[in-house]
Chains A and B, each alone.
Chain A
Amino acid sequence: MAESNKIVNFHVTRYNPEKDVKPYIQTYKVEVTDGMTVLDGLHWIKEHLDPTLVWRYSCRMGICGSCGMLINGSPTLACNTQISHLGGMDITVGPLPNFEIIRDLVPDLASMFDKHASVKPNIIRDEADLVSRQGEFYQSPEQLEEFLQFTFCIKCGCCMAACPTLATDVRYLGPMPLTALQRYNTDTRDEGFDIRAKIAGGDGGAFSCHYAGECSRVCPKGVDPAKAIQLLKRKLVLDYLHLASKKQPCKKLEGPGHGKLLPNMNPPARTVVQDAPAETNK
């Protein structure tokens, strides 16, 4: 089957802080073939028209989250956006809003990652439990399901770019870090709620969210940060009112026959005992 070529105008935001006073739009005529993504279009421009155009990308398959851009006014992944799906003969491509621009389409995501680190996005638990290589933490599929969708976040920054609250208040943590915070708060292996509650309930925390819901609408991985933030708010309020059920951190399975925590559930098949001498089943 012959490929149908057409010319599409790419209106790309250009900005070199060393030369330009402010960002400006440059238009390129791109020869588009079937199956071309916006990222492919940018590659075509760099190869055929303008080698100075700069953007960030890596995997080309919607996994790494590097190529988040503002495409036709909506934050999304360039590699995940088919040009034919956008319709029309004009496409606007700009850097993600709510971030400083490093150059052209490259946003400075450092502020996002600083905020992400500040919410302590890791398992907080008794040190002895964590460093011991013996056994493994037991988590049922139902417990995993409670936070699983929040683990799909690839930190592309699209939700942060879409957030109207973040646009006015740079101190607001934003959807991505708060979703990560909720993800670890819900994880049964974690015991860090009290530490994170101070962060989530503080200035720029969960209560700054106005529930515009744009973060959930634009997320290219189908994560629902708005829901995570509402769940977080509920948990914080219930905890303040002493109405929250206290989460019991899951225990470790030390090996077959030990620590079978829930009735009618078998321990994970991959449970192994690494440092302790193997036990014989009697």
Chain B
Amino acid sequence: MSNGTKFWTWHMAAGVALLFLLGLHMLIMHFGGSVHLFAPHGSEAVSVENSQWRDAHTFFAITYILMLGVGLYHGLYGLRTILLELTLKPAVAKTVTAFLVLVGLGLFGFGSWAAWAAHTIAIAGGKG
């Protein structure tokens, strides 16, 4: 089995996951406050209290990291496809791929660290 099939299948799967996660995101951000869906403090879903309430839940911390992962993979793989269609030389194509992999891993690492830090801070804040 070639890598093309593998990467494309995961690209599609990431797209579907992204659709679901973005749906959840939109639901919480736009309706969460008014119906108190994952937003128990007041009518603003993006208020500090509500954000901290969600951050304190492991489900949301994992969801943030998952959304970051699938978003980065889907977006960067799509960008790579567009760039490689410019009929780049093999060496340039490899460099582009390596660069995007590094950017993706870097952003994923940084974002995951931030999401988990917010999670631990929110838990500590809740206890304090």
Chain A residues proximal to chain B, CB less than 8 Å: 165, 168-172, 197-203, 205, 207-208, 233, 236-237, 239-241
Query: What are 24 A-B pairs with beta-carbon distances under 8 A?
Result: A165-B85, A168-B85, A168-B87, A169-B84, A170-B87, A171-B87, A197-B1, A198-B2, A200-B5, A201-B1, A201-B5, A201-B6, A202-B3, A202-B4, A203-B4, A205-B4, A207-B4, A207-B5, A208-B81, A237-B8, A239-B1, A240-B1, A240-B9, A241-B9
Determine the residue in chain A with the shortest Cβ distance to B10: A240
Tell me the bound Cα distance from A199 to B5 in angstroms.
Answer: 10
**DSSP class of B's interface residues: helix, strand, loop or mixed?**
helix
In the bound complex, residues from chain A placing their C-beta under 8 Å from that of B87 are: 168-171
Name the B residues within 8 Å of A170 (CB-CB).
87
Q: Do residues A240 and B85 form an inter-chain contact, with CB atoms below 8 A?
A: no
Interface of A is mostly: helix
> Quick check: is B12 within 8 A (CB to CB) of the other chain?
yes
Residues of B within 8 A of A (CB): 1-6, 8-9, 12, 81, 84-87
List, in ascending order, chain A residues with CB within 8 A of B9's CB: 237, 240-241
**Separation of A200 and B9 alpha carbons in the complex (Å):** 14
A-B contacts counted at CB < 8 A amount to: 51
Residue of B nearest to A204 (CB): B4
Closest to A238 in B: B9
8 nearest interchain CB pairs?
A201-B5, A201-B2, A201-B4, A207-B8, A169-B85, A202-B2, A236-B5, A237-B9
**Shortest Cβ distance from A233 into B: residue:** B8
Closest to B8 in A: A207
Q: Which residues of A contact B86 (CB under 8 A)?
A: 168-169
